[in-house]
Each structure stands twice: as C-alpha cells, then as structure tokens.
Amino acid sequence: MRLPHPLKPFAPDGAPCSSSLLLTVMTVLTPIPAAPADAPAAASSAKGPACSLQRSSSLWQLGIEAQELTTAIGQLAEQLESDDPEQRALALAELEAALLAEEGNKAALAAKADATCWVIEHLRGQAAYRQQQSKRLAALAAGDTSRADALEESLIFVLTQLQPAATRFSFPNHELSSRKSQAVVIDDEQALDPEWLAVTTTTKPDKAAIKEALKAGRQIEGAQLLARRSWRIS
C-alpha cells in the first residue's frame, strides 16, 4: 500500500514537523502483540474473526510511523534547496547518521531507506511535471509573442500608410516611436565570396573513441576510464 506524501509535512498533532523527528522515530515496524499461550479458546472465539481491532490498530500505527519518517526526510530534502553549502551538508549528514544508526536493525534500516525512496520518487515526479509545464508555458509564451508581433506590424503598417512622413504617433495611453538603423540582409549566402564568410570551428571530446582506446589499455592524458554502478528505484 502506497502512503501519501504531503507537500507540506505536519506532525500528527498538526504542528510543523521538525527534521529531528527522523532521529527520534527509531522503529517503524510495531510488533503485533501475540495472544498468551494459556489464553482460553473460548475467549478467542468470543472476540470474533481473526482480523481483530487490535491488529487493525497495529497496521494503522505502522502507517502513521512510516508517514512520520517520510515527513521528516521530506523536510531534510527541503533544506537541500538552500544556497548555503554548510546547511546542505548538515541535512545530508543527518540523513546518513539516521541510516547508519540502524546498522544492526534490518527492519528499521529498511523502513528508513524505503521512506527515503518515497521522497526521491516524489521529487523526481515533481521535477518531471514541472519540466512538462515549462514546455507548455514556453509554447504559450511563443504564441503570445507571435500574436503581439503580428498586431504591432499591422498597426505600424496602417499608421505609416496614413502618415508616411511621421516618425512618432501619440495615443491617449501609449506612444509609438521609431528610430533609424541599418541592417544587412543576405539574399543568397551561396553567392558570397569566401572573404565575406566567417569560419567558426567547434570541438568536443569524442567520448566513444576515447572509451574504446582506454579499454584497450591506451593511456590518454586528460581522460580516464571510471568504473561506476548505476542505481534505479523501482
């Protein structure tokens, strides 16, 4: 079951949650109390089905504790938006310390790691959404600019047709002014002599060729073959 991830984390009492909560919430897996070995069978049957209220309460507690962890880690992630390198380092150090503190407790370590993955997935999803929105807004901005340019060209065309000698037009709330300038228009670039052509050269490392040479044992100054492992959250 996937737990919700609030954009503005709050503690169960409604107050803003402190990042120190990550260090205080130690165990996520709340054990379900087992029935006493000598409990009468009649008592068990009197309580009804196996899915008891006590078990539901424990599952609910699991969800609350897991959400508290996710909330605390989310607040640490918010601190990473700071431009202060020291504050970013402290936030990451707090997360790493909280994980290392569970070295001997597999369940608690897995819970904190899982909560961290939730925050990572949320941030990546938010980034993808904002990238899509930026493309949409860029397209809208381009359309607005195009319409504004078309209206301006039509307005200037009509006004200059009516008053060819005018260099300035005044209206109740706006003023349309002009200034002289010169611009070169290239009618046919292929017809230009080489002396009128500027040569531009760009270079970039051929990483594919460099990689093959390094793998073959060749030493290349300024480049090295770095072994690394890629990770993916699923």
Q: Is 40 contained in some domain?
A: no
What number is the average pLDDT over the span 147-168? Answer: 94
Q: Is 132 contained in some domain?
A: yes
Q: Is 219 contained in some domain?
A: no
What number is the average pLDDT over the span 12-32? Answer: 42
2 vs 81, which has greater pLDDT?
81
CA distance 220 to 223: 6
Lowest mean pLDDT among 61-65, 142-146, 218-222: 61-65
Q: How many CA atoms does the CB half-sphere of 192 hold within 13 Å?
A: 10
Q: Is 84 contained in some domain?
A: yes
Domain count of the chain?
Answer: 1
Q: What is the pLDDT of residues 36-82, one digit of tens each?
A: 444 444 433 334 333 322 333 465 666 777 788 888 888 888 888 88
Q: Is 166 contained in some domain?
A: no
| pLDDT attached to residue 59 | 55
Q: Check pLDDT > 60 for residue 86.
A: yes
Mean pLDDT of the chain, nearest integer:
77
Q: Is 19 contained in some domain?
A: yes
CA distance 3 to 115: 10
Q: Per DSSP, what are the bridge partners of residue 10?
A: 16
What number is the average pLDDT over the span 81-95? Answer: 87
| pLDDT attached to residue 61 | 63
CA distance 213 to 215: 5
Q: Check pLDDT > 90 for residue 220.
A: yes
| pLDDT attached to residue 134 | 97
pTM of the model: 0.57
197 vs 29, which has greater pLDDT?
197
Q: Is 224 contained in some domain?
A: no
Q: Is 80 contained in some domain?
A: yes
Domain limits at 111?
1-34+45-149
18: which residues sit within 8 A by CB, 6+ positions away?
Answer: 11, 72, 75
